[in-house]
Amino acid sequence: MMDVQCQGTEAALGTCTYKHAENLCEHFEDVGARCQDVRLVGGPHSCAGRVEVLVAGRWGTVCDDGWDEKDVAVVCRQLGCGQAVESLSSDVFGPGSESQPVLLTDVQCQGTEAALGTCTYEDPGGNCDHKEHVGARCHEVPKVPVRLVGSNATRCSGQVEIFHQGRWGTVCGLGWDLTDAKVLCRELGCGTPRYITQSCLKFSRSSEPILLGLLDCTGHETSLTQCQFQDWAEKPCPYHRDTGVKCQEPFALRLVDGPGRCAGRLEVQYDGEWGTVCDDHWSNSSADVVCRELGCGPAEPMVAKLRDRPRFGKATGRIWLDDVRCKGTEKTLQNCAHRVWGYHDCTHHEDISVVCQES
């Protein structure tokens, strides 16, 4: 299944609209779900709203008698929403439905419990109405619980920080290896790792505390948070060995200075910078791969090369690829054989151009 669209009221996932995947997805795009017996409703995001609990298969609200910040802290922890921000009344997020029962009152948490159901509470017994519902606001959880930071960091390179137990922190470099970095780069949409570091010298030291250490990934996880690790908050990290990584920037290509998106001088993006492709060993098979990758029609047959007159003008920047040899069946140009990125014996007089039929 892919492109699943549910209203949220369906009784089964199969009744939602969806498309058949037809091999358009990889397994690292598999989705997961975590079900809870508490939820926050009516707020700006999933970590803020009116508190509702599930009891005996029915959702209901919580009375505000005895409700305080310790109770909110437990709700936030149970939902994986980090630290509590504030306890709120029903005025902020609106009352629940009149058909909903009030299920809990006089909730008394110590603030350290893992779930609201383990706190002490009482049955309201009809002594609480819908104007007395409670709300909670927690720190919003980042969609991607890892990030790369530092004075010279980019989207795909920098010192590793991870969101753990409601706050950002770094990872001790003990045990950090390319397998761990592979998971991180894939999670960030940054391809594969080019190299890793175990010191702060490359990307400058983060001001955040060290939270995790001894990461141990198999390489198949979809997130760094799914790997084995040890809490490191109270332990020293030898020589301040924070982790860093440089991932391969996502591959991209384009046709420029032509009459449309399907014709022009070929440019590819590597390490965040656009550059051209030399015409040495270029063939119609390679042009077909480019056209297919861009969603255009078949490539027009090549004409005799005019090295001193590039069809769509000469570029002035990098020449990234040379000696490109495609079979014509590759899904992307980066899968074709070619020289090492940036190595060539060309000038911009040899920039290759491609003309595809409009799709």
Residues 187-227: pLDDT tens digits?
888 888 888 887 655 555 666 788 888 889 999 888 888 88
Give the residue extent of every domain in the chain.
1-33, 38-138, 146-247, 252-355
| Residues ≥6 apart with Cβ < 8 Å to 109 | 70, 71, 73, 74, 116, 119, 120
Specify the CATH class of 252-355 in words.
Answer: alpha beta
pLDDT classification of 305: cutoffs 50, 70, 90: very low
CA distances to 64, 88, 117, 125 from 122, rounded to whole Å, are 12, 20, 11, 9
User: In CATH, which superfamily holds the domain spanning 38-138?
Assistant: SRCR-like domain (3.10.250.10)
pTM: 0.47
| Residue 181: φ, ψ to 5° | -65, -35
Three-state DSSP class for 126? coil
146-247 matches 38-138 in CATH topology? yes
| Residue 238: φ, ψ to 5° | -55, 130
Lowest pLDDT segment from 99-108, 124-133, 318-327, 340-349? 124-133
Whether the predicted pLDDT of 179 surpasses 90: yes
Q: Give the CA radius of gyration of the chain.
A: 28
CA distance 243 to 222: 19
Condensed to tens digits (0 to 9), the pLDDT of residues 22-35 reads 666 777 677 766 45
Question: How many other C-beta atoms lie within 10 A of the C-beta of residue 174?
Answer: 16
Amino acid symbol at 127: N
Q: Take residue 134 and report the two structure tokens written for it.
A: 């409670």
Maximum distance among all alpha carbons in the chain? 89
CA distances to 81, 106, 284, 341 from 288, rounded to whole Å, are 48, 69, 6, 21
Condensed to tens digits (0 to 9), the pLDDT of residues 330-352 reads 988 988 999 888 889 999 888 99
Alpha helices in the chain (DSSP H): 69-78, 90-93, 178-187, 284-293
CA distance 282 to 293: 16
pLDDT classification of 174: cutoffs 50, 70, 90: confident
Q: Considering the chain, what is the average pLDDT of its residues?
A: 82
For the domain bounded by 146-247, which CATH number is listed? Answer: 3.10.250.10
Contact 277, 271 (CB under 8 A): no
